[in-house]
């Protein structure tokens, strides 16, 4: 049976940053990168808003840089998926790929979240080529162009309003005949001259060619079909945190995100601790962040989780 001081579940900016800090603290972390090493950024063609890359960087390249930096300091980064955890007592028992068991004195959860998609084959085909689930990440590429956002809640409205500051035209495709967003958010959308709300419409197909998205075929009330001439297709229907294996053990909010204490001590109280409902288990990145969900905030949370973990083990 293998025993480790610090086990990091998940990779991406949060997991790899936590690995860098815990390695430098001589905690000899073991990192299980999961089914998609590097997380959501590996599906992003170009990242231009992460400090230190003035010319932008491919998501896969940036994640490889972070992984190699963590390994440079001694992090043991492994392929494999954590399939079960027992957090009832320390050391915690963790099962990898259904067979290998590890006992861990501490755990940093950085399993991230996955964007919700419509499930269209054409949508998957153009991910990274015009289809995106993050307007803040990719909106810059569509400056002065026409785009569409799918969704009717606050997230979709926020995406549409952000894109309206950059794009020439934003279609907001709403399946129902009303917006589910707050009244204030609805008012902002309706008052924005660059946003056209399409009530009662569903996306049938994302259109494109070798260069990326060229349009979207949508069907509206009474079966009326319409083709939108757009170059960007954004999903604003939310994210699903990867917390299935923690249900019933860690406190989760109503959307499944891990709840952190936010109490901290000393200087950590300024930002809030990454401690979860179980002492010795910490959460960092999108798995505990339902608001910002950016690479830079995930990396910062990974740093905080590593420092919280180090203090816990010392005390």
Examine the residue annotation and report whether 157 is marked as an active-site residue of this protein: no
Catalytic annotation present for 138: yes
* C-alpha closest to that of 278 among 251, 305, 300: 251
Distance between CA 94 and CA 72 in Å, rounded? Answer: 25
Give dist(CA 43, CA 36) in Å, integer.
10
What is the DSSP annotation of 180-226? Answer: -S-HHHHHHHHH-TTEEEEET-EEEEEEEETTEEEEEEEE-GGG-EE
The kind and range of the H/E element at 241 are strand 239-241
CA distance 256 to 196: 32
Cβ atoms within 10 Å, residue 55: 6
* CA separation for the pair 309, 314 (Å, rounded): 9
Residue 232 DSSP SS3: strand
Contacts for 183 with CB less than 8 Å, ≥ 6 apart: none
Q: For 24, list phi and psi in degrees, rounded to 5.
A: -70, -20
156 in Cβ contact with 181 (< 8 Å)? yes
Nearest CA to 130 out of 233, 206, 204 is that of 233
- From 138, 286, 289, 308, active-site residue: 138
Q: Spot the catalytic one: 64, 65, 86, 134.
A: 134
Query: Considering 6, 137, 167, 309, which one is annotated as catalytic?
Result: 137
Structure tokens at 248: 């019933």
What is the Cα–Cα distance from 252 to 268, expressed in whole angstroms? 21
Structure tokens at 124: 């998957």
Active site residues: 134, 137-138
């Amino acid at each position: 049976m293998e025993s480790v001081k610090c086990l990091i579940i998940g990779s991406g900016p949060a997991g790899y940053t936590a690995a860098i800090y815990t390695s430098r603290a001589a905690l000899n972390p073991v990192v299980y990168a999961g089914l998609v090493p590097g997380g959501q950024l590996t599906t992003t063609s170009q990242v231009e808003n992460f400090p230190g890359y003035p010319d932008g960087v491919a998501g896969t390249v940036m994640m490889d840089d972070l992984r190699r930096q963590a390994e440079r300091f001694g992090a043991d980064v492994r392929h494999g998926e954590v399939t079960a955890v027992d957090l009832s007592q320390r050391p915690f028992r963790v099962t990898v790929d259904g067979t290998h068991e590890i006992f861990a004195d501490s755990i940093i959860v950085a399993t991230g979240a996955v964007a919700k998609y419509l499930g269209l084959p054409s949508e998957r085909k153009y991910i990274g080529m015009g289809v995106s689930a993050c307007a803040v990440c990719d909106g810059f590429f569509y400056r002065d162009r026409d785009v569409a956002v799918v969704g009717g809640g606050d997230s979709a409205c926020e995406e549409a309003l952000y894109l309206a500051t950059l794009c020439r035209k934003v279609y907001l495709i709403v399946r129902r005949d009303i917006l589910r967003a707050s009244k204030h958010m609805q008012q902002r959308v309706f008052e924005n001259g660059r946003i056209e709300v399409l009530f009662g419409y569903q996306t049938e197909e994302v259109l494109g060619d070798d260069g990326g998205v060229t349009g979207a075929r949508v069907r509206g009330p009474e079966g009326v079909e319409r083709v939108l001439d757009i170059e960007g297709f954004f999903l604003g229907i939310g994210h699903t945190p990867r917390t299935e294996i923690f249900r019933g053990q860690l406190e989760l909010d109503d959307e499944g995100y891990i709840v952190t204490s936010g109490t901290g001590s000393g200087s950590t109280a300024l930002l809030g601790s990454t401690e979860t409902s179980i002492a010795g288990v910490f959460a960092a990145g999108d798995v505990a962040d339902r608001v910002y969900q950016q690479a830079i905030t995930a990396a910062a949370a990974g740093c905080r989780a590593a420092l919280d973990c180090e203090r816990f083990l010392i005390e």
